[in-house]
Amino acid sequence: MSQKISLTRYLVEQQRMEGHIPSQLRLLLEVVARACKRISQAVNKGALGGENSILGTAGSENVQGEVQKKLDIIANEVLIEANEWGGHLAAMASEEMDGIYVVPNRYPQGEYLLLFDPLDGSSNIDVNVSIGTIFSVLKMPEDDRGVDEGDFLQPGRQQVAAGYCVYGPQTTLVLTVGDGVAMFTLDREQGSFVLIEENVRISPDTQEFAINMSNMRHWDEPVRRYIDECLAGQEGPRGKNFNMRWVASMVADVHRILCRGGIFMYPWDKREPDKAGKLRLMYEANPMSWLIEQAGGAATNGHQRILDIQPTKLHERVSVILGSKNEVERVTGYHAKL
């Protein structure tokens, strides 16, 4: 094959060709990628860190009442330390922090806002199954003096970059700046991310679904109908058999869908009826939905395109249905018939 293209070169060429990645955004993406490299190294060490083992719980809870793992906190710190001094950001927000983190006065402030789920799939850390980091980049509203939480509350369609890094058999960074989806795998000998695919596309049809089936009795009617019809297979109304996968790391499930199609759902359910869903809108659903749309797929909450939802709070939750277009439209259509 011809020469390998590094993430740095890809971004420089994007900046040149499209002219729509300003240098600050390019720097931001490089810094996020560097942080992901460090998190990947920590993930790889596992129990070998001795007293500093990254496995196990940290003995604390986040704002959402979830027990924090050591790696949740380590990954959060790595992302903050890497990003706070470069001058490209005004503030950051994370699943693991109650409020926003404003870039300290001692550093210059930039015009971007970075949101992240530092470690997605926490329940898989201790059992050596794929986990990841998800990120979303927004711009500060124009003429805004002093950053606050309200500046983050922008619908997902206003993202200027989004991506994730999956720490699996390979460490792979997947990125969009609004011009399709590109994938880069970490070459550990070179120490850099290398382009492996430039124009990721999701087929509109699929025979594979991803949902936590143990929640079936709590689902709403449209979701139950859709899964019942998949399970009925060849003899049922769909006339074809379906396969099922559930990694319980959204990053890994979405990555599989970007690689070979499929539909992913974490819908609202009756366990906690007051919550819109389990997943978080701003740093899980929005970046993943934009990637999926950029690859030709679709993402809704059953009623509305996820990227059009106007957030009302930083840690807002949302019902998520995303992946192969025709299947997502089918489930969304079932909701409309209610």
Contact between 55 and ligand AHG by CB under 6 A: the answer reads no
Q: DSSP letter string over 240-287?
A: S--EE---S-HHHHHHHHHHH--EEEE--BTTSTTSS-SEEIIIIIHH
Rounded Cα gap, residues 282 and 1, in angstroms? 39
What's the min distance (Å) between Cβ of 299 and ligand AHG? 14
Rounded Cα gap, residues 150 and 119, in angstroms? 24
Binding mask 255-274 for ligand AHG (x = CB under 6 A): -----------x--------
CB under 5 to 8 A by kind: which of Mn ion, ligand AHG, none does 259 bind?
Answer: none
DSSP 66: P
Rounded Cα gap, residues 50 and 223, in angstroms? 45
- Token pair for 54: 């990254």
- Token pair for 242: 């379906």
CB 109 within 8 A of CB 88: no
Contact between 216 and ligand AHG by CB under 6 A: the answer reads no
Rounded Cα gap, residues 273 and 44, in angstroms? 38
CB under 5 to 8 A by kind: which of ligand AHG, Mn ion, none does 212 bind?
Answer: ligand AHG
Place of tokens 């509109």: 204
- Which of 195, 191, 189, 190 is CA-nearest to residue 172? 195
| Region 86-105 residues binding Mn ion, contact defined as CB under 5 A | 95
Segment contacting ligand AHG by CB under 6 A, of 199-207, 245-253, 291-299, 308-316: 245-253
What's the min distance (Å) between Cβ of 104 and ligand AHG? 26
Q: Tell me which of 30, 84, 120, 293 binds Mn ion, using CB under 5 A.
A: 120
Segment contacting Mn ion by CB under 5 A, of 81-89, 117-125, 189-197, 209-217: 117-125
Contact between 117 and Mn ion by CB under 5 A: the answer reads yes
- Which of 59, 293, 326 is CA-nearest to residue 206? 326
Segment contacting ligand AHG by CB under 6 A, of 9-17, 74-82, 138-146, 242-250: 242-250
Contact between 159 and ligand AHG by CB under 6 A: the answer reads no
Given the complex with ligand AHG, which of 199 and 212 has the nearer CB atom? 212
* Contact footprint for Mn ion (CB under 5 A): 95, 117, 119-120
* Contact footprint for ligand AHG (CB under 6 A): 66, 95, 117, 120-123, 212, 248-250, 266, 278
